[in-house]
Structure 1
Amino acid sequence: MASLLPQLWQLCLLRIGPQDLPYSPALSRALVVAALAAGLLNAAAADALGEHLLPRLLVTLAFLVAVPWLLLRLRGYGNRLAQTVAAIAGSSLLYALAFLPLSLLTADFDPAEPLPAQVLAGWIGLFLTGWKLAINAHIWRHALGLPFAAAVLLAVGLLLVQVGLGRLLEGAA
């Protein structure tokens, strides 16, 4: 795992693609579990472990595994699944760990009277989310053989669907 961290960092800097990660279904599974655990840690830090936790975890799991499986199969690149899932889950893990201090800082956020540090945390969170979108677009471009603009549209579209589905399931729960 220690030798994987520099590769994941290079992926997040858009210097390598998912094809440069080791082909290992076991590694992909481990990164998915780690990314889900980091998401749980963020939810705990933000005091958001409530009743809607299971639907959120299921949506996250679907977008880490099922969506890449489906998109890669549709494009005829099913053999790229392990590395694509590793790239998405690994970058999601790093994103969640980078977001953890922001979750801790904004746990008691009051929109009527935000603290200056909370406003700064919001801007940093927005930057991190934009960066994660760029990373996802980079991964999709390499994994699916798409032009960058199409990969950006796919990454943004998937984020919107994921957030919308999460909201819908939270309302249904």
Structure 2
Amino acid sequence: MKTLISRVIWQWAGVCMLLSLAGCSPGTPKFLAGDLNGVNHTSAAINHFSVNGYGGANISPYGYGGGVCCVMLPSQWSPGLKFKVEWETDPNSTARLPRLGTDEYRAGYAKHKAKYQQHSAIVDIPSYEIGTLCSLKIHFLPCNQVKATTACMAYGQPGYPIKDPIEMKEPAVCPK
């Protein structure tokens, strides 16, 4: 047991040394890391979402989720850069299920989960200054539309670029 603990400590120390040396390497890094946040403007819960495979938190209907570290974006922004957003929605997040652990619960949950919906969108990476990235905020809008910003402020603050209200209704017909 003592040997295992000693080996883990030395491995941890080695990783720390490598990471500290990596931070000292000359040149501009190819990628920047920032928090990944989401804003849900819809009545469906977002069970989970990801940006280029980097996972985000779940988000309640008309709510916020995030502070998940980290999403990686190119260190230098240029026009035409895009990323892929994938998310899963629960259109009835307030469904009542039978008591947990029972056969009725398992059957009810399977029926409920069958209604989850998978979505994806290709989104332009919003501009940001060279070498700086506070966070990437993904806004989920009705009709499976997505907007994104790299603003270094929170949704609703003066100067925040996305002005859509938090509670948006799904139109009868979504635009193509």
For Structure 1 versus Structure 2, the TM-score category normalised by the shorter chain is under 0.3
Where is the strand percentage greater, Structure 1 or Structure 2? 2
State the TM-score, normalized to the length of structure 2.
Answer: 0.23
Q: Which has the higher helix share?
A: 1
Pair member with larger Rg: 2
Higher relative contact order (CA 8 A, sep 6+): 1
